[in-house]
Amino acid sequence: MNFRATIHALSAIAVVLCVASASAAETFTVGSIEVTGPWARATPKGASVGGAYMTVTNKGSEPDRLTGGSSPAAAKLEVHQMSMNNGVMSMRPVQGGLEIKPGQTVVFNPSSFHIMMVGLKQPLTQGEHVKATLDFAKAGKLDVEYVVESIGAQGPSAASTAPAMPGMDHGTMGNMGGSMGNMNHAH
Ligand SMILES: [Cu+2]
């Protein structure tokens, strides 16, 4: 094998590796609902809540709603939305669940919709997998597994290219009853 052939062989390997990591996101399906690439953020010691994210697609012809869920790792799972009010980032539960229209894809990420794991039984540790069951009004229950990424992660490690959003780290919420800096948590 001459030098040029070796280079070609190496770049071919690099391409294969890229494709492999990009398609590593796991997909979970129930009825017309497809959940791709679930991930969660590691939490600091003592945190009572953690954020979990994913992409949800409704491949059916009727609307569905994600109403919440459960996990052995937390007391309950709620659907939350981040929003900016008068320059202050706050979050609130999505009342009645989040509607996912036919053909619609909703991306849950640290700056908009997220699954809030409320009442964490232990900190979420980077690298671990957290089992959870999501409740869809129409499609029913879907078992998924969240891969825990670093505390400041903006996405799953295969796609962590989202811009950083300072001041919005779930970790800063700490205990919901305690000081939350500029984070409001509407109930
Ligand atoms: Cu939240």
User: What is the CATH number for 144?
Assistant: 2.60.40.1890
Give me the residue label for tokens 């229209």: 101
* Torsion sign, CA atoms 30, 33, 37, 41: negative
Q: Is residue 46 part of a domain?
A: yes
Residue 8 has pLDDT above 70, yes or no: no
Q: Which residues of 131-158 are buried (b: 16+ CB within 10 A; e: fewer)?
A: ebebbbeebeebebebbbbebebbbbeb
Ligand 1: centre distance to CA 17 (Å): 35
User: Which domain range does residue 131 map to?
Assistant: 27-157
Identity at 86, one-letter amino acid code? N
Residue 17 has pLDDT above 80, yes or no: no
Express each pLDDT in 113-162 by its tens digit: 999 999 999 999 999 999 999 999 999 999 999 999 999 898 887 644 44
Q: Is residue 186 part of a domain?
A: no
Identity at 132, one-letter amino acid code? A
Main-chain phi, psi angles of 146, to 5 degrees? -90, 130
Ligand 1: centre distance to CA 91 (Å): 6
Q: Is residue 130 part of a domain?
A: yes
On average, the pLDDT of the chain sits at: 82
Ligand 1: centre distance to CA 80 (Å): 5
Q: Is residue 89 part of a domain?
A: yes
What sections of the chain are H helices per DSSP?
3-22
Tokens linked to 72: 């052995």
Q: Is residue 86 part of a domain?
A: yes
Q: Is residue 148 part of a domain?
A: yes
Express each pLDDT in 36-89 by its tens digit: 999 999 999 999 999 999 999 999 999 999 999 999 999 999 999 998 888 888
Q: Is residue 20 part of a domain?
A: no
Q: Is residue 108 part of a domain?
A: yes
Ligand 1: centre distance to CA 81 (Å): 7
Of 91, 97, 86, 110, the C-alpha closest to 160 is 110
Structural domain total, the chain: 1
Interacting residues of 51 by C-beta distance below 8 A, sequence separation 6+: 40, 41, 110, 114, 115, 116, 117, 170
Ligand 1: centre distance to CA 173 (Å): 9
Ligand 1: centre distance to CA 141 (Å): 21
Strand, coil or helix: 166 = coil
Residue 178 has pLDDT above 70, yes or no: no
Which chain residues have CB less than 5 Å from ligand 1, an ion?
Answer: 80, 91, 116
Length of the chain: 187
